[in-house]
């Protein structure tokens, strides 16, 4: 066989290996989006009901809907708060765990546990822990004389969002920490040794060595974290259902409520499509603006996988 025959055979094999994933993406992602766009142009109220084509009416109504506009703002705040808190906490924990200490391997192994806990279990667990009368958080704070009255973590509109951010971060920080630890492992030890010889302080080592090497990973996690946080529904719905009032009503929560409690599936689908395109535009702009860091991150992850 010639070299060209081998290349042709490898190309066919590669196509066959990728084909199942492509078919799965088409069935699970592409077709539902196309179906959703079609439904958004109709007056369908519930699944299986009669409907008629109404064009862009649902979209125009949503852009005039103050609750929908407010939910976009709440989603933006939710994404920024989660992204900042999760990334900062995961980075600090990774830097701490990366230092040699007794039991380091044990901590690295079990730190992933919160991420493995199902969202439903997490929501139920923390809802009980935040309970005003019997929750362990309020009981502990009152026992330490930190508060006189129970803190309404989920019933106070001023702190409900922060409480949910903490719970959601509790789930995802372990995963981000593992990614940071993997990235830290790729930093050449010789650079730190040379910096120590030159008398560099720990802060200067972090600023000139650690952070530049972690920047590509930070960039990738910034995008992934944004997409993850923007689509969080289970934690919010199971803990506050968007309340108190509409204090924690993000776009996914509002669209679910509109579809299954407001019986307006076409309008809810239109809102979901709008939100999807906002995320797609953000992702393209973010990747284009940070394309150099994404290339470096891709090379780093490939090296770690070898």
Give the start-to-end residue ranges of the domains of the chain. Answer: 1-40, 57-305
More confident residue, 301 or 113: 113
Q: Buried b vs exposed e over 126-135: b needs ≥16 C-beta within 10 Å? A: bbebbbeeeb
Neighbouring residues of 273: CB distance < 8 A, sequence distance ≥ 6: 33, 36, 37, 40
In this predicted structure, what is the pLDDT of residue 192? Answer: 84
**Cα separation, 92 vs 70, whole angstroms:** 33
10 Å CB burial of residue 199 (0-12, 13-18, 19+) is exposed
Question: Average pLDDT of 107-121?
Answer: 87
pLDDT tier, 236 (very low <50, low <70, confident <90, very high otherwise)? very high
In this predicted structure, what is the pLDDT of residue 224? Answer: 87
Instruction: Note the pLDDT tens digit of each residue in 160-173.
Output: 999 999 999 999 99
pLDDT tier, 221 (very low <50, low <70, confident <90, very high otherwise)? confident
Phi-psi region of 103 (alpha: psi -120 to 50; beta: other; left: phi over 0): left
Per 3-state DSSP, the chain is made up of helix, strand and coil in percentages (nearest 5) of: 75, 0, 25
**Cα separation, 237 vs 249, whole angstroms:** 9
Q: Where are the beta strands (DSSP E) in 67-153?
A: none
**Cα separation, 249 vs 160, whole angstroms:** 11
Q: Is the pLDDT of residue 5 over 70?
A: no
**CA dihedral sign, ordered 178, 96, 235, 249:** negative
**Which two structure tokens, joined as six digits, stand for 191?**
């650079």
More confident residue, 200 or 139: 139
Q: Is the pLDDT of residue 279 over 80?
A: yes
Neighbouring residues of 71: CB distance < 8 A, sequence distance ≥ 6: 246, 249, 250, 251, 253, 254
Instruction: Note the pLDDT tens digit of each residue in 280-300.
Output: 999 999 888 887 877 776 666
pLDDT tier, 47 (very low <50, low <70, confident <90, very high otherwise)? confident
**Cα separation, 241 vs 198, whole angstroms:** 56
Neighbouring residues of 161: CB distance < 8 A, sequence distance ≥ 6: 74, 77, 78, 81, 247, 248
Residues in the chain: 306
Evaluate whether the domain defined by 57-305 bears CATH number 3.30.530.20.
no
**CA dihedral sign, ordered 82, 91, 211, 106:** negative
Instruction: Note the pLDDT tens digit of each residue in 243-259.
Output: 999 999 999 999 999 99
**CA dihedral sign, ordered 260, 262, 266, 269:** negative
Q: Which residues pair with 42 in a beta bridge?
A: 53
User: HSE on the CB side for 226, CA within 13 Å?
Assistant: 18
pLDDT tier, 80 (very low <50, low <70, confident <90, very high otherwise)? very high
């Amino acid at each position: 066989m010639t070299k060209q025959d081998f290349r042709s055979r490898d190309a066919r094999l590669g196509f066959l290996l990728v084909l199942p994933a492509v078919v799965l993406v088409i069935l699970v992602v592409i077709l539902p989006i196309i179906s959703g766009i079609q439904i958004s142009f109709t007056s369908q109220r519930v699944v299986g009901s009669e409907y008629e084509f109404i064009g862009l009416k649902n979209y125009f109504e949503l852009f005039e809907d103050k609750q929908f506009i407010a939910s976009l703002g709440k989603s933006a705040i939710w994404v920024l708060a989660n992204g900042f808190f999760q990334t900062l906490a995961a980075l600090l924990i990774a830097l701490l765990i990366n230092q040699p200490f007794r039991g380091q391997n044990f901590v690295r192994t079990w730190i992933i546990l919160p991420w493995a806990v199902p969202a439903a279990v997490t929501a139920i667990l923390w809802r009980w822990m935040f309970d005003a009368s019997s929750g362990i958080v309020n009981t502990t704070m009152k026992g330490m004389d930190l508060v006189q009255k129970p803190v309404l973590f989920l019933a106070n509109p001023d702190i409900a969002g922060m409480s949910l951010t903490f719970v959601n971060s509790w789930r995802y920080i372990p995963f981000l920490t593992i990614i940071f630890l993997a990235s830290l492992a790729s930093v050449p030890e010789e650079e730190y040794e040379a910096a120590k010889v030159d008398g560099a302080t720990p802060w200067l080592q972090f600023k000139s060595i650690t952070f530049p090497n972690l920047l590509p990973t930070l960039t990738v996690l910034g995008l992934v974290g944004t997409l993850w946080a923007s689509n969080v529904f289970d934690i919010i719905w199971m803990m506050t259902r968007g309340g108190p009032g509409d204090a924690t009503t993000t776009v996914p929560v509002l669209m679910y409520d509109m579809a299954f409690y407001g019986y307006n599936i076409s309008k809810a689908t239109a809102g979901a499509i709008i939100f999807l395109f906002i995320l797609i535009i953000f992702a393209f702009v973010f990747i284009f603006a940070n394309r150099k860091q994404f290339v470096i991150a891709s090379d780093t992850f490939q090296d770690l996988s070898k």
